[in-house]
Structure 1
Amino acid sequence: MTHASARPEADYNRLTPAAQERFDQVMDLADNTTDNGEYTALMLAAAALAGLHIPYGAEIRKCACSCYCPAIFDPADPDAHVIEETGGYNLGRVQCPTCADRHRETA
């Protein structure tokens, strides 16, 4: 039996425009909060808006790839790629595993 991918992932483009707006607002709030409890609550709220079920304390990100990938995913995935560290905010820019693999530089 083949197992389904355990990667929690959602498609931003499948959200309604209103849900996209709420998701973006919640992620902006998460990016700017200094309270860890509030950050955790905002991550859970953003995940719920995207239709993802994440464990308490987990995080999600919208793919920051320049090809405009609509993936909402777990940035702790070992195949994800950090493009830019947090830079004084909470959310760094991270490529989803698919984009990290697709756009990997070949030597």
Structure 2
Amino acid sequence: MAIAVMTHAPTQPTVNYADLPTHVQDHFDKLMELADNAANATEYEALMTALIAITGITGVRHNEIVKCACTACYCDHVFDADDSNALVTEETDAGYNLGRLQCPDCADSHPRPVEN
């Protein structure tokens, strides 16, 4: 009797946008724009699924990723929008779907934009 051993792939909770190939960056930007303006939850979920697939991020809890919106630096991290260590940089405008969040690294290194 053979026994199969399965190993779990390590999670990749963030990627650096600048490290993505140019054509992937272009695709990412277009999908994020579409997600931000999605008319309904089904469309938004499908776009987020595509974004997660093209970036290779794994371990996303609620099928939503964002690019860091830190106002203190030029961070290019793309990360799980549900990360408990991320901080809101500004409230979401009416009519748009994507929140503006600081990645956990920036949240540790820079002032809290909403509070300061």
Flag structure 1 segments of 5+ consecutive residues without an equivalent.
Answer: none
For normalisation by structure 1, the TM-score amounts to 0.85
Give the alignment of 1:21-100 within 5 angstroms.
Answer: 21-54=26-59, 57-66=62-71, 67-88=73-94, 89-100=96-107
Report whether the alignment pairs 1:101 with 2:112.
no
Query: How many residue pairs align between the two structures?
Result: 101
C-alpha contact (below 8 Å) 1:7/1:74 kept by paired residues: no
User: 1: distance between equivalents of 2:89 and 2:45?
Assistant: 23
Flag structure 2 segments of 5+ consecutive residues without an equivalent.
Answer: 1-9
**Stretches of 4+ moved more than 4 A in 1?**
54-57
User: 1: distance between equivalents of 2:62 and 2:51?
Assistant: 13
For normalisation by structure 2, the TM-score amounts to 0.79
Alignment RMSD (CA, Å): 2.0
CA 1:62–1:55: 2 relative to 1, 3 Å? closer
Larger gyration radius, structure 1 or structure 2: 2
The amino acid across from 2:90 in the alignment is E
CA 1:74–1:27: 2 relative to 1, 3 Å? same
